[in-house]
Amino acid sequence: MSLIRHHIGGVESGAAERSGPVFDPATGQSHRRVAFASPVEVDDAVRAAKAALPAWRATGLIKRADVFFRLRQLLVERQDELAQIITSEHGKVLSDAKGEISRGIENVEFAAGLAHLLKSEHSEQVARGVDVHSVKQPVGVVAAVTPFNFPVMVPLWMTATAIACGNTVILKPSEKTPSAAIFLARLYEEAGLPPGVLNVVHGDRVAVDTLLESPDVRAISFVGSTPVARDLYQRAAAKGKRVQALGGAKNHMVVMPDAEIAQAADAAVSAAYGSAGERCMAVSVLVAVGAQTADDLVAAIAERVAVLQIGPGTDAASDMGPLITAEHRDRVAGYVTGAEAEGATVVIDGTTEQFDGDGFFLGASLIDHVRPGTKVYDDEIFGPVLAVVRVESYDEAVALVNASPYANGTALFTRDGATARNFEFDIEVGMVGVNVAIPVPVGSYSFGGWRNSLFGDTHIYGPESINFYTRSKVVTSRWPDRSPSAVSLGFPSNH
């Protein structure tokens, strides 16, 4: 059985003292293992990143940009191979895997504009003979801890901007989907990135804890569940590190009575069940305004769910693949089987669907008459389960969304411009879609939620990430001239 090793200083390394299985979720079989880094191996990666930092920081901006132009081309050329890697370890269908790669490429394209993005400000003659300018300088060695569900996109969201800004990086991918990170590290170096600028260590909490404790790691980016994000933020911030920790979500899609029902139903099915619901931007709660709206939507969604093809991600006929592990599949199924006891109506029970083989498959479920205070509503299920909540008015829908402890993304479906504008103003959520069910911003904007969906002040990728991965330095200068000088002990004044 092959072992997936770490990538440190441009060299693959790693003993098998501790390791874990890597499954193909479509078959339920493990054909590979991944090495779990010891504290010593993590420290080796930190030292490699620290050693590579001075030369990379001093590399000219145009030369840095060349790396990203070449990396983009390599990602396009190798996307089929990379998509196969994603599907073999995550299970998502190949079209979804290619979509993930394309969204990662967006941030590579953004990072390629680093010569513009790192420009600062200059003020001439703020006082007689005095100029002031600011510069953006790299933070130093940074860590990126990424989730299983987007093993290419999220690492590219973090590493591209961090490296473009002149930092060096230790990437710790999910131990469930580790191979894509190694593939990306090789592509970076094939594109011209010097060894040690991007290092990959695999593992569990031991690796993350070592990164948090290391005084040489100056910043950390994280995407995962809310409890882990909160804990990581608190511990890293206590060590004086910069932190952006993106947590969980419970995304609501509000449908007004004037919405086009077929369009809303198509969007809800796509956003709820794509990637088997294992997306932090998945729609997990459909908020139907008005009884007739709810009845029509539930019927339309049920028709579409009934014809979904669930199977291996490599099968072109599959609309939805398996979940990541057997344990997670069973956890998700538990929410469906317990819904009626909490007063909900199970319209479609995906737990009863039968599948051949030992893959981690689960059918899509639709649950109506769900209420806040129940597990189906309150918890981030992270699976193919769509809950329908019925409300009587726009105001009730907005209050429901704003009361959620999560505030990652939300969407409104309507044909009325005034309602859409009011929703944009009223809603207290980080990312909002109007007739767009999954409002993930394009690469030139930034991604992130509010409340328990984000810990830290900075969103991921895009313009905000430039601020996260750089420190601003302000320089005030006066060059000697022939004017007379004198000692003054007063506080300097610009007059």
Amino acid at 349: D
280 given a catalytic annotation? yes
Q: 136 near 470, Cβ under 8 Å?
A: yes
Of 164, 280, 333, 362, catalytic: 280
SS (H, E, C) 63-93: HHHHHHHHHHHHHHHCHHHHHHHHHHHHCCC
Are 251 and 453 contacting, i.e. CB atoms less than 8 angstroms apart? no
Judged by phi (left if over 0) then psi (alpha if -120 to 50, else beta), residue 162 lies in: alpha
Please work out, in degrees rounded to the nearest 5, the angle formed at the alpha carbon of residue 189 by the alpha carbons of 202 and 141.
55
Q: Which residues are catalytic?
A: 280
